Amino acid sequence: MFKELDPILHSQLRLAVMSLLISVKEAEFTFLKEKTNATAGNLSVQIQKLKEAGYIEIIKQFKDNYPQTICKITSFGVNAFEEYVKNLQSYLTNHK
Amino acid sequence: MEQEKKLTEQESLHLITMMINKAKESYHDTGIGAIMWGAVIAICSLVRLSEVQFDYKLPFDIYLLTLVAIIPQIFISIKEKKERKVKSYDDAYMDYLWLGFGISIFLLIHISNNIFGEWGSWANEYRNITGKPVIFRFSEYVAPLFLMLYGMPTFVTGAACKFKPMLWGGIFCWICCIIAIYTSIKIDLLLTAASAILAWLVPGIIMEKEYRSYKKEQAQLNV
C-alpha cells in the first residue's frame, strides 16, 4: 500500500534544503539561500520548521565578528529523507 | 523559491536530483596548494639536478624550500576553510590523507638520511680496506621511494574527487617510480620534477581555472 508522503518534507523549499543538506556535512545559511534562490525570511521560517521536526540542527555562531548560521542534517532527518524517497519511488512505480 | 508550494511526485524527485547536483557542484578547490607544491618540488629537483650536472653546491640544501613552503600552506588552508560555505564529508578524509602524506614524507627523509649516513661510513671503510670502488649507490634508490609516496594521495584524491588530471598524475608518479629504479640519479631528478609538474602543478592550474570560472558564474548569478 502507498504510504502518505511526509508533509514536512513534501514542500518545495524544505525538500530543497533537505536535499542540499543530505549531500554535505554542514552548510552555511548563505549557501542554502544561494542554492535555493529563496529569500532570507522564507528560508529562516522553513529551516525553523525542519529544526522543530528534529530533521536538522542549527548552529549559531560568530565568524570574523559576523553572525553565522550553520545547518546540519540529523540522523533522524536522514532517516526521514530516506523514507520519503522510498515512498516517492514506490508511488511512482505503482502509478506508471 | 516559494516556501509552501505543494509538489507532484515527479517534481519532488526532480527537485531532489537537482539540489543534490547543485551541492556536488559547489565543491571547488582553489588549486593554489597544488600549484605551490608542484612548483616547489619541481624547482627543488631541477636545482639539485643542476648541482649534480654542473658540479657546484648551493650554500644551503635546496630541499629546505619544502619546509619553508609549509608556512604559506598553513595560511592557504586557513583561508580556504574560512571562505568555504559548505563542508563536505570528503573534506576531513582529504585533510587526514594529505596530513598523513606530509608526515610520511618527513619520516622517509629522516629514514633515508639515517641510512645514507650509515651507508656512507660503511662504504668509506670498504673502500679503504679493499681499495675497490663501491658500485652500489644508495642515493639512486631514494627517488623511487618518494615517487611511490607522491603517487598514493594524488591517485586517491583524483579518484575520490573524480578529478582525472590528478588520477593520471598519481599513476604517472608510479610509472616514474618504476623507471627511476633503473636509472641514474640525474634521470631520477628529472622524473621527480616531471611527476611534480604532472601530478600537482598542472592539475592545480586546471583546478584554479575551474574555481575562477565557478566564482565568475556565481557572481553573474548574484547580479
Nearest residue on chain A to B11, judged by CA atoms?
A12
pLDDT of residue B85: 84
Compute φ and ψ for A73, nearest 5 degrees. Answer: -80, 140
B219 shares contact with chain A (CB less than 8 Å) = no
How many domains would you assign to chain B?
Answer: 1
Residue-wise pLDDT for B117-169, tens only, equals 888 888 888 888 888 877 777 777 899 999 999 999 999 999 988 899 999 99
Q: pLDDT class for B5, splitting at 50, 70, 90?
A: low
- Written as nine digits, the cell of B49 is 639536478
Handedness of CA B210, B146, B62, B109 (dihedral sign): positive
**Which among A12, A24, A42 has CB closest to B88?**
A24
Question: Cα–Cα distances in Å, from B143 out to A43, B41, B74, B98, B186?
Answer: 55, 12, 26, 19, 10
Domains of chain A are 12-94 (1.10.10.10)
pLDDT of residue B131: 83
Distance between CA atoms of A17 and A26, rounded to whole angstroms?
11
In a domain? residue B81: yes
B23 shares contact with chain A (CB less than 8 Å) = yes
For helices B142-160 and B185-196, angle between their N-to-C axes, nearest 10 degrees: 20
In a domain? residue B25: no
Tell me the whole-structure pTM to 2 decimals: 0.80
> How far is A23 from chain B, CA to nearest CA, in Å?
6
Residue of A64 and B105 predicted with greater confidence = B105
In a domain? residue B158: yes
pLDDT of residue B223: 53
In a domain? residue B136: yes
**Which among B4, B19, B87 has CB closest to A16?**
B19
Residue-wise pLDDT for B21-79, tens only, equals 888 777 778 899 999 999 999 999 999 999 999 999 999 999 999 999 999 999 998 88
pLDDT of residue B159: 94
Residues 6+ positions from B152 with CB-CB distance below 8 Å: B101, B170
Residues B91, A92: C-beta atoms closer than 8 Å: no
Grid-cell match 543538506, residue found: A21
pLDDT of residue B1: 60
Residues of B in contact with A35 (CB under 8 A): 19, 22-23, 26
Q: pLDDT class for B2, splitting at 50, 70, 90?
A: low
Nearest residue on chain B to A36, judged by CA atoms?
B1
Containing structural domain, residue B115: 30-206
